[in-house]
Amino acid sequence: MTNGETIRVSLVEDDDEIRDALAILIDATEGMKCHSTFGDCESAIESVSKDPPDVLMMDIELPGMSGVEGVQKIKTARPGIDIIMLTIHKDDDLVFQSLSLGATGYLLKDSQPDDILRAIRDVRSGGSPMSSQIARRIVVSFRKAEKSPLTKRETEVLEKLCEGHSYKMIGADLFVSEETIHFHIKNIYQKLQVHSKSEAVAKALRERLI
Amino acid sequence: MTNGETIRVSLVEDDDEIRDALAILIDATEGMKCHSTFGDCESAIESVSKDPPDVLMMDIELPGMSGVEGVQKIKTARPGIDIIMLTIHKDDDLVFQSLSLGATGYLLKDSQPDDILRAIRDVRSGGSPMSSQIARRIVVSFRKAEKSPLTKRETEVLEKLCEGHSYKMIGADLFVSEETIHFHIKNIYQKLQVHSKSEAVAKALRERLI
DNA sequence: CGAAAAACTACCCGTTTCGGTAGTAGCCGC
DNA sequence: GCGGCTACTACCGAAACGGGTAGTTTTTCG
């Protein structure tokens, strides 16, 4: 994919001026080369699948297919490409979504040339360029719930549920009767406001109770 | 907690020199004040719970209780405190762990004074100062699986399972019979190597298939 | 075009789950 | 020391689930 020297960069950006400016900047830089450019997602997906660059810079707001959707498609077709989103808003839900769908980092459109080049090198050397505001959002969504409504025992039972155990198996594991597990689970349902094992597991994992 | 003007910073660091240097730097800075300092986690936890600062800077490698453990305890007692880890290794598992347990950002011990002050202001204004290498690790662990063994329909069914729906309800939602759902779920179990709804949900959410 | 994969429907049967009710026992804090 | 919380055990019946087998139709792709 990479030849160890020149980073091949492709661009997806509907604004001609911005696209050309970026292309010129990249081509003028030692160790980088503008591989291809596109005005919309659809044509980018097609071409990039056949002839992938190392890094793809993609506008987040595009006519037609959105950049967010594009990330998903391109990353599925070519997981090796590092995708940097281009955006005008520095703290945006779309940025957050793009990252969760496969983008590696993002860059503000009004960044200085130096920052742009740094971001490109950064993704290639294993980093994720992003603002600390976005980083915070990701860190928070990644954290365990700091306090759970469940008791210690209930949490233990919930963990077993998440491993797919039946009442009987959990009882055996915790050295209590199946009926006791039944009892704990009823309380868990009450507290989490759910009515089945799968719903409890989903809630527990989504809210990081365990 | 905060008075909108002065950021109160506490330090937990066993090296006297580093601790004192940081304290002096902070006190010499307009808009910041060194609130308290500690040489170990245990005493920090006790004092900080009673008289919390706005920001806590904590060494990650401490004698006695580790900084990672300390983060968890302090964050539980006082969720409002923003914790910045101090470390010598910039890409460390411990940093990653600390962030998942409640730290907001981290800082290398050999950072420039400017960077240190910037990080403190950053956490207070809603950011998470961190290297892009760590950011990448978090982004990746947060991403959806790029390819799932499941078909489109099976994924749809799995999503409904994660919402706690029964076969009957899923059938109604997707306008097919309950038996069809039964059929899809049997295939899902086969592919995911599980044997119950809760196990399937757990696997789906953990591996981010949905 | 034709094979393969996906989507769909159906029935059986034993097991598990869910909700309700009912009771015992230990621990902690006010 | 007593009320409240947690942990534990038990029984019941209706509903849901899990695994099996058996078949049709539609879509996809070489």
List CB contacts (< 8 A) between B205 and chain A. Answer: 201-202, 205-206
DSSP-based three-state secondary structure for A182: helix
Tell me what pLDDT residue A148 has.
Answer: 77
Tell me what pLDDT residue A24 has.
Answer: 97
From A198's Cα to the closest Cα of chain B, the distance in A is 4
Q: Are residues A122 and A138 part of one domain?
A: no
Give the pLDDT band of residue A4 (cuts 50, 70, 90): low
Q: Are residues A77 and A3 part of one domain?
A: yes
Q: Which residue of B78, B132, B148, B199 to mutate against A (max A Cβ within 10 Å)?
A: B132
The last residue of one of the domains, among A130, A152, A176, is A130
List CB contacts (< 8 A) between B139 and chain A. Answer: 99, 104-105, 128, 130, 138
Phi–psi pair at A35, nearest 5 degrees: -85, -45
**Is strand D in 7 Å reach of the CB of B136?**
no
Beta partners for B12?
B38, B58
Give the residue ranges of DSSP H helices in chain A: 16-27, 41-50, 67-77, 93-101, 113-124, 132-142, 152-162, 167-174, 178-192, 197-206
Question: Residue B173 sits in which domain range?
Answer: 131-210
Give residue for tokens 């309380």: A187
Give the gyration radius of chain A's Cα atoms: 23
As for how many domains chain A has, the answer is 2
Say how many C-beta atoms besides its own lie within 10 A of residue A73's C-beta: 18
CA distance A80 to A2: 10
CA distance A201 to B187: 21
Q: Are residues A137 and A122 part of one domain?
A: no
Tell me what pLDDT residue B193 has.
Answer: 93
List CB contacts (< 8 A) between B98 and chain A. Answer: none
**Is strand D in 7 Å reach of the CB of B151?**
no
Query: Which residue from A minimizes the CA distance to B206?
Result: A205
Which phi-psi region, left, alpha or beta, contains residue A5 (left: φ > 0; alpha: ψ -120 to 50)? alpha
Query: Which residue from A minimizes the CA distance to B195?
Result: A164
Q: Are residues B88 and B6 part of one domain?
A: yes
The last residue of one of the domains, among B130, B148, B177, is B130
CA distance A193 to A206: 14
List CB contacts (< 8 A) between B169 and chain A. Answer: none
State the pTM of this model. 0.81
Q: Are residues B179 and B92 part of one domain?
A: no
Q: In the predicted model, is pLDDT for residue B126 greater than 80?
A: yes
Which segment of A111-125, A163-177, A178-192, B92-106 scores lowest on mean pLDDT?
A: B92-106
Q: Are residues A15 and A116 part of one domain?
A: yes
Phi–psi pair at A10, nearest 5 degrees: -115, 155
Half-sphere exposure of B77 (CA within 13 A, CB side): 17
DSSP-based three-state secondary structure for A53: coil
Q: How do residues B144-174 score in pLDDT, each as one tens digit?
A: 777 788 999 999 999 999 999 999 999 999 9
Q: How do residues B175-210 score in pLDDT, each as one tens digit?
A: 999 999 999 999 999 999 999 999 999 999 998 888
Q: Are residues A145 and A112 part of one domain?
A: no
Q: Are residues B200 and B98 part of one domain?
A: no
Looking at residue A172, which CATH number applies to its domain?
Answer: 1.10.10.10
Of residues B25 and B5, more confidence is placed in B25
Burial (CB < 10 A; 0-12, 13-18, 19+), residue B69, is middle
Contact A132 B195 (CB under 8 A): no
Query: Residue A93's closest CA among A110, A70, A69, A68?
Result: A68
Q: In the predicted model, is pLDDT for residue A2 greater than 70?
A: no
Q: Are residues B162 and B98 part of one domain?
A: no
Looking at residue B76, which CATH number applies to its domain?
Answer: 3.40.50.2300
Q: How do residues B23-33 score in pLDDT, each as one tens digit?
A: 999 999 999 99
Q: How do residues A134-188 score in pLDDT, each as one tens digit?
A: 899 888 887 877 677 889 999 999 999 998 899 999 999 999 999 999 999 999 9
Run of H or E residues at B32 = strand B32-38
Q: Are residues A171 and A106 part of one domain?
A: no
The number of angstroms, rounded, from the C-alpha of B84 to the middle of its chain's C-alpha atoms is 12
Q: Which of A93-102, B92-101, B112-121 has the highest mean pLDDT?
A: B112-121
Q: Residue A150, CA: closest nucleotide via C1'?
A: D6
**Is strand D in 7 Å reach of the CB of A196?**
yes
Tell me what pLDDT residue B2 has.
Answer: 45
Q: Are residues B168 and B143 part of one domain?
A: yes
Tell me what pLDDT residue B4 has.
Answer: 57
Give residue for tokens 């291809």: A36
Cα angle value B139/B159/A158 (rounded, 5°): 80
DSSP-based three-state secondary structure for A92: coil
Residue A71 token pair? 């990330």
Q: Are residues B140 and B118 part of one domain?
A: no
The last residue of one of the domains, among B85, B112, B130, is B130
Contact A143 B100 (CB under 8 A): yes
Q: How do residues B35-80 score in pLDDT, each as one tens digit?
A: 999 999 988 988 888 899 999 999 998 988 889 989 988 888 888 9
